[in-house]
């Protein structure tokens, strides 16, 4: 019988059973170490206290054989906050990882996410939505390294950008020669809601195995006028039609959260942020 979850004074989290935990991270903490032991599972919701204007958090995650981690990061920063986060995930045989990042940045938010597949029969999903307004900037860099055969991964990152906001995505899927029968996909979609909004997308594949299924794609555009017209014809005002389309765009990511209470509260928080952006 496992002892559950243990959080040490040096900010190490060790899990040896099935747990659900919400963690408020003091902004003075610079490093977080998470270990999910074999066959254990953890649903971890990370929020921040927003007490510091400049923030940096280095998170190290290891999910051992047969373990499972759902890692939900909720970032709802105020105007002057600058954030620089790095996340390094190591996944071992038959483990699963579901990472969801919900970002409403302050001045800037930069995150670098690395996931290493160190065994076979691993499944990983990385999903994120950023709502960028004013002069805020968001940057996401991902690197997925497939070391072993029979691994599956899916990345899906989105941004809604208004005002003079800027969003960038740089994603790399790296498949080693030994990693046959890898299935790894990455997609990045961006909605621009003003003439001054900017988005940059650079999905990349580096593949050295010959029996794989890998793909990438990116879109940068505005709300579809035909969709707006369709909703107008069914009685919605133009502003309401835009709001419905924006909510649908964002909900696709938020619905990846399996914890119902967290999913619904995130919808209320982040969908409210979309009001007025269109």
With beta carbons less than 8 A apart as the criterion, state whether 63 and 34 touch. Answer: no
pTM: 0.92
pLDDT value for 54? 77
- Residue 51, domain member (yes or no): yes
- Dig out the tokens for 172 from the structure: 């790399």
pLDDT value for 208? 97
Q: Could you read off the pLDDT of 28-47 as tens digits, one per residue? A: 778 899 999 999 999 988 88
pLDDT value for 10? 59
Q: What is residue 269's three-state secondary structure?
A: helix
- Residue 245, domain member (yes or no): no
- Residue 39, domain member (yes or no): yes
Domain ranges, residue 92: 5-223
- Residue 90, domain member (yes or no): yes
- Residue 257, domain member (yes or no): no
R_g of the chain computed on alpha carbons: 19
- Residue 127, domain member (yes or no): yes
Positions in the chain whose pLDDT score sits under 50:
1-3
- Residue 234, domain member (yes or no): no
Please report where in the chains the tokens 């990370």 appear, as a residue: 46
Q: How many domains does the chain have?
A: 1
3-state secondary structure 191-250: EECCCCCEEEEEEEEEECCCCCEEEEEEEEECCCHHHHHHHHHCCCCHHHHHHHHHHHHH
With beta carbons less than 8 A apart as the criterion, state whether 257 and 41 touch. Answer: no
- Residue 262, domain member (yes or no): no
């Amino acid at each position: 019988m496992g002892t559950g979850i243990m959080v040490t004074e040096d900010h190490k989290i060790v899990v040896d059973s099935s747990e659900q935990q919400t963690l408020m991270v003091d902004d003075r903490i610079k490093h977080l170490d998470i270990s999910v032991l074999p066959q254990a599972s953890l649903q971890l919701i990370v929020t921040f206290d927003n007490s510091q204007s400049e923030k940096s958090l280095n998170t190290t995650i290891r999910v051992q054989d047969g373990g499972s981690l759902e890692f939900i990061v909720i970032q709802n920063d105020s105007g002057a906050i600058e954030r620089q986060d790095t996340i390094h995930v190591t996944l071992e045989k038959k483990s699963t990882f579901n990472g969801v990042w919900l970002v409403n940045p302050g001045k800037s938010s930069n995150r670098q996410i690395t996931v290493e597949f160190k065994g076979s029969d691993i499944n990983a999903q990385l999903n994120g939505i950023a709502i960028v307004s004013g002069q805020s900037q968001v940057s996401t860099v991902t690197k997925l390294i497939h070391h072993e055969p029979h691994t599956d991964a899916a990345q899906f990152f989105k941004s809604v950008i208004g005002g003079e906001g800027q969003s960038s995505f740089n994603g790399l899927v790296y498949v080693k020669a030994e990693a046959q029968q890898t299935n790894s996909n990455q997609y990045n979609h961006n909605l621009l809601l003003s003439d001054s909004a900017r988005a940059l997308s650079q999905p990349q594949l580096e593949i050295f195995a010959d029996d794989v299924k890998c793909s990438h794609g990116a879109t940068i555009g505005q709300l579809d006028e035909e969709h707006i017209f369709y909703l107008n014809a069914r009685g919605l005002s133009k502003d309401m039609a835009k709001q419905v389309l924006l909510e649908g765009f964002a909900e696709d990511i938020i619905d990846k959260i399996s914890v119902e209470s967290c999913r619904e509260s995130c919808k209320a928080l982040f969908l409210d942020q979309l009001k007025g952006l269109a």
